[in-house]
Amino acid sequence: MLAPLPKPVRFVLGALVLGTLSLVPHAASADIYTYTDAQGNVHVTSQPTRGKPGTKVDKISSGNANGSKKKTRDIMPVMPSDRSPERHNRYDAWIREGARLYRLPEELIRAVIKCESDFDPRVVSPVGAQGLMQIMPATALRMQVRDAFDPRENILGGARYLRILANTFNGDLELTVAGYNAGEAAVLRYQGIPPYQETQGYVGCVVSHYRTFKSARIAERETMPAKHTP
């Protein structure tokens, strides 16, 4: 179990109303399917597709719409990676947009992206998490993300989910991050960070990068020349 974080690493933000989106995990009967059409395009849907010639349908989850990435089968191959150095700053505008829209620290969104995909928008994990913030198909449906490989949609969807988690866990940074990895149900069940090696390592990764990005931003502000008024 990770030691409690010092107060500066915690953030407590006021609850933000997110329309009709529920903070409660979807019902256990929610199923997610992918199907490949005759042109080879992959689609994600909550309804099974039948009677369409040339389609291949796969059921990829059942009753696990809480964001958890612990699946039992591989569903997608790893896609080509973007390893260009420019990728680290390519999405700054959308990170700022997500932070402003959902009242989150920019550094938190950036830290999650760093640990999830290292700023590669095309990466797919062996369990099917997609894009910059590695959103699972079930979570994409919850967050109304139509294309998880679109960087802006992915970032805004991931930020929206972080805000829901922050509301659920009263702004506790560690629990918010743990919920992003393991699902909010697991955090609620254990009343803290779940005892999963992956989740505990993930929390450490995000918190470490959050501190680094925060410190870098403070240092940048301190080195900026002061504005002089006539």
> What residues are labeled active site?
116
**172 residue type, one letter:** D
Half-sphere exposure of 28 (CA within 13 A, CB side): 1
Element (H, E) at 32: strand 31-36
Query: How far is residue 203's CA from residue 214's CA, in Å, rounded to a whole number?
Result: 16
Query: How far is residue 109's CA from residue 165's CA, in Å, rounded to a whole number?
Result: 13
Q: Which residue stretches of the chain are H helix?
A: 87-90, 92-102, 106-117, 137-142, 151-168, 173-182, 184-190, 197-223
Q: What is the DSSP letter of 69?
A: -
